[in-house]
Amino acid sequence: MTSPSSSSAKTPEFGRPLQGWRLRCYTIIFEADTRAGRLFDLGLIAMVLLSLLTVMLDSVASIHNEHGRWLTGLEIFFTAVFTVEYLLRLACVRQPLRYALSFYGIVDLLAVLPTYLAFFVPELYALVDVRVLRLLRVFRILKLNAYVAEYASLALALRASSRKISVFITAVLMIVLVMGTVMYVVEGPINGFSSIPTSVYWAITTMTTVGFGDITPKTDLGRAIASLMMLLGWGVLAVPTGIVTAEMSAQRLASAPKATTRSCHVCLSEGHQADSKFCRHCGATLPAYQRD
In the bound state with its own copies, the residue whose beta carbon lies nearer, of 76 and 146, is: 146
Of 46, 68, 148, 265, the one binding its own copies by CB under 8 A: 148
The whole-angstrom separation of Cα 25 and Cα 46 is 20
In the bound state with its own copies, the residue whose beta carbon lies nearer, of 25 and 126, is: 126
Minimum CB–partner distance for residue 47 and its own copies (Å): 16
Question: Is 87 a residue that touches its own copies (CB under 8 A)?
Answer: no
126 class by beta-carbon count within 10 Å (0-12 exposed, 13-18 middle, 19+ buried): middle
161 class by beta-carbon count within 10 Å (0-12 exposed, 13-18 middle, 19+ buried): exposed
Backbone angles phi, psi at 126, to 5 degrees: -65, -20
Evaluate whether 138 touches 129 at the Cβ level (below 8 Å).
no
Report how far Cα 84 is from the mean position of its chain's Cα atoms. 29
Question: Is 220 a residue that touches its own copies (CB under 8 A)?
Answer: yes
In the bound state with its own copies, the residue whose beta carbon lies nearer, of 97 and 146, is: 146
Interacting residues of 270 by C-beta distance below 8 A, sequence separation 6+: 260, 261, 262, 263, 264
Q: Which of residues 224-263 bind its own copies (CB under 8 A)?
A: 224, 226-227, 230-231, 233-259, 261, 263
3-class DSSP assignment, residue 278: strand
DSSP designation for 280: T
- The terminus-to-terminus CA distance of the chain in angstroms comes to 62
In the bound state with its own copies, the residue whose beta carbon lies nearer, of 104 and 201, is: 201
Of 5, 11, 95, 194, the one binding its own copies by CB under 8 A: 194
Of 34, 66, 161, 265, the one binding its own copies by CB under 8 A: 161
Question: Is 65 a residue that touches its own copies (CB under 8 A)?
Answer: no
Question: Is 184 a residue that touches its own copies (CB under 8 A)?
Answer: yes
Of 6-14, 55-63, 71-79, 97-105, the segment contacting its own copies by CB under 8 A is 55-63
Question: Is 156 a residue that touches its own copies (CB under 8 A)?
Answer: yes
Question: Is 49 a residue that touches its own copies (CB under 8 A)?
Answer: no
In the bound state with its own copies, the residue whose beta carbon lies nearer, of 35 and 291, is: 291
Sign, Cα dihedral of 32, 29, 116, 79: positive
In the bound state with its own copies, the residue whose beta carbon lies nearer, of 98 and 159, is: 159
